[in-house]
Structure 1
Amino acid sequence: MSNLIDFDDMLTMANKVLKSQSVLQAVRSMYPYLLVDEFQDLNNLQMDLVLRLQGDVGRVTAVGDERQSIYGFRGASCESNFKTFLDSFVDADVARTKGTPGSLVGSMQSLTVNYRSHKSIVDLGNVVARDTAGDDGLLVRLRVPLQARATAPVVPVSVCYNATAHKEATSIADKIKYLIDSGACRPKDISVLFRFLKFGQYRPSGRIETELMNLGIPFVVRGGASLMSTRRMQNFLALLGLLANRSNDIAMRVCVTEFVLHLGPVYWRRIEGMGPDSNGDGSLFRKAERIVSTTKIPKKARESLGHFLATVKGWVSDMGEMTLMELVVRIYTDFVMDASIKAKAKTRFARKAAAAEAAADER
């Protein structure tokens, strides 16, 4: 184990090696200029390397934005590094080079045009940056107001505060549902951005994913896998949603697509096109109950659909006799499957349908 080193060890060893003047001069001759990108993310060891290589030379350019610092949790020393850099390569250089042509004097240049965001977002960012800088001279110096390129008018940015993560997730999901129901946006037009998708065992997106599924809103997680977004888990939650409310048409569609065999889109449209029953119940579950007693869909589709409906109603009737854990295990065991869901479903339904027919013959 003593022969193993990690990235921090490499930085520490590099600093030690560069204490040798001969090694330092050799490296400087090989790399006379130093360009540091994402300067705000440097940790102390990396900053020590910058100072060791260029501290008394000054042929260094650093590009960074204090407002984009996101690696404090792993040791980045943003404000300290900016102060050190300005003291060492800008302010000190200006002080000792009076009379030197300006092009040869160290300086700080600010990029003030934002090419990524709409004006409403940039304006909000300027307000937040100004208000959080306070009287800190360094931050005031670094946080130069930005300007956005001319863009088409957009909806103003809203800043919301929620007391808990759960309330935040509920608020976001409700807003998305409103945008979709009002026709203002399609689901694919909406994005929820996260600083990271996974940190250890913690998934910031988990609560919002759950709330979106509760509202029947489809979504895709980009940049990381989520248990809640897997096909297996979404199928399971659809079954629970249908069990809790048989008028949940979104859950019914998912369940029929995944668990009912021999019922293609043509026959499914026939079910959807049916009107409400005599009591005004127009739910897909009730329509499915009615169609299984007709010949509007093939026999195999009626049998498969009828068995699924009977299973769901059986769960409902047994709920009072089972614990929640027993109910969940029963649902999961009966219907939630992996990528081979169709093949397994075909075998399971065929077996259960055959058993049901045998029982009927005996009666």
Structure 2
Amino acid sequence: MIATVPAACSPSTALARRDALNAEQRQAAEHGDGPLLVAAGPGTGKTATLAARVASLLGRGADPQRLLLLTFSRRAAQTMGQRAAHLLAATRGGQAPAAAALPWSGTFHAVAARLLRDLAPAIGLPADFSVLDRGDAEDLMASVRSARGQAELPRRFPLAPTCLAIASRCVNTDAPLADVVTEHYPWCRPWTGELQQLFADFSRHKLQHRLLDFDDLLLAWAEAMDVPAVAQALGRRFDHVLVDEAQDCNRLQARILAGLKPDGRGLTLVGDDDQCIYGFRGADRQLMLDFAATHGERATVVALTRNYRATPALVAAAQAVIDGAARRLPRVMHSGVDAGPRPRLVRVDDEAAQATWVVDEVLRLREQGLALKQQAVLFRTGTHASVLELELVRRGVPFVKFGGLRFLDTAHVKDLLALLRWSRNPRHALAAQRCARLVPGIGPAAVRRLLAALESGGDPVAAIDAFQPPPGAREGWQGLATLWSALHRGALPWPESYDAALDWLTPQLRVRHDDAAVRLADLAQLRAAAHAQPDADRFLADLALDPPQSSSDLAGPPHRDEDWLVLSTIHAAKGQEWRAVHVLSVVDGCMPADLATGRAEEIEEERRLLYVAMTRARVHLNLVVPHRFHVTQQHRHGDRHLYAVPSRFIDARVQACCDDIDLRPDQPATLGLDLPPGCADIATTMRQRWGTAG
């Protein structure tokens, strides 16, 4: 039967401890084997509930080797396993079973990489494939695009990042190219045929060189699940499949889940359809919205509605925003914490006034005892924070911003990983090119000769052994070739092979970079991650599929100052929480973004984006509305200021939940000149200019 469980507890009652379960959570945790959907609102203990369900299954005798836990970050999988082990240990007198290690837990992409290596002989894939990260996939797309002559066309052809984005959206939404281009990239419609051929060449090149990118991993897994023998074998292999953040699943992932558990038996989905904000990556909340209809009377839907994070006033305001959504799983959120201040709608004159007010407010709260690290400033896109960043620097307020250059995109990290990847896959042309260019004396012509030899179709190992570098590069090349051969033959066990690669790269870094010491410290942090993995393939796949955003992700919080303020896009803030949240530019044109108002579903996703921003706050929430904001390079006459109105999502119901603070000047500023009235008649002068009278 379909059972939607309402809130069962008073909002004023708090959990005695984080892992304790209320009635809703307990029903989800102790549910049997039938298809289960847990619709978990913000701050409702989603992670604790899913961990409790894992512990309950293991406590009832489920084999952890036959339990598949799919998440959207490696950290989430680790946290889930640790919590499950803790809960299971508590029920067994403090003995934490090794079974709770959950050997088959991880991101969809990481699990796909592991499964495909095992399935490779049966499904026609090379077992020794390499995984391309996003940066390398973009570089390869650029190379194929250039080889096809599409970089020298007389008319504008999409650049490599756009081409890759189009191909990725086609794969992840399981939609035809023509439909994707028409709906999301209309200016590319004249190139649809050429794009089709480009993507075909791109795919052939990857398979020829034993490369799979992120999208290929999901596509290969989904296609394999369409083979009855494979689907039945994997379905029998895993008794239980549990999915965290189910609202972020795309259609390929939905196909995979349907193949694993076609009748829903043993399937658990946990997520919040109101927090589906990754439509640009193909996320499709229909998996959740259609769950009950798909599985019929066998399905159970449990709604977690008690928010243990935010105050009643904040929960009410966020509920008012999301109540305006066109379609969602029905539930009304309640707060389980003490009362606090109402959220504020702060109206200011322009972006400069917005920045000044936000910094003033941040420092005011700091003086009241709220550390900078307990506060965050959120925004729709990174450019919306530019004026604020300048004001923070001017006033000496330290901050960190999420959304800059990723750790794995830095040159020194890519250099070391390229060496390891090339040693694992001799046909990896991108990695070979990067490594060869590190050798002093090897220029573009020599690199082209090396790549041509690798492309010849013969033995790539023999091609590398036979390669003759320029005379000035022989010593450097010999050192690289000797190391490459040792790594490729497995002469050095893991992780000693990482150390050998780092030893070779160290003098190169000292020659190439003034800040070599800082870069070597990054690689030392990465070394710790390497030593935690059983082999090079697992290390490289994990880094490509779930990369750290910075070296601090490996080493712990950065010691930039005694304290620092967090600046973040709303997308990057999902899953986080702070005691105080300040949301910038809550105006139409920014939220919803002016480029996301072409379709109803795009506007609805923008509503959910504001909902996510508001639900990051625990006590204080400020929605800032500048009356004017600056637009750059969007007008033929140059930069301009636009007048703004509050976001359409801040309707009367939402405003009734907020304190309205208007800090705009009472009247426009005047010149203050002392001139007598009637000292000139400009109107008459203007009429006479064209020879008209009266």
* TM-score of the pair, normalised by structure 1: 0.48
State the structure with more CA Rg: 1
Q: Of Structure 1 and Structure 2, which has the larger fraction of its residues in strand?
A: 2
* TM-score of the pair, normalised by structure 2: 0.26
Q: Of Structure 1 and Structure 2, which has the larger fraction of its residues in helix?
A: 1
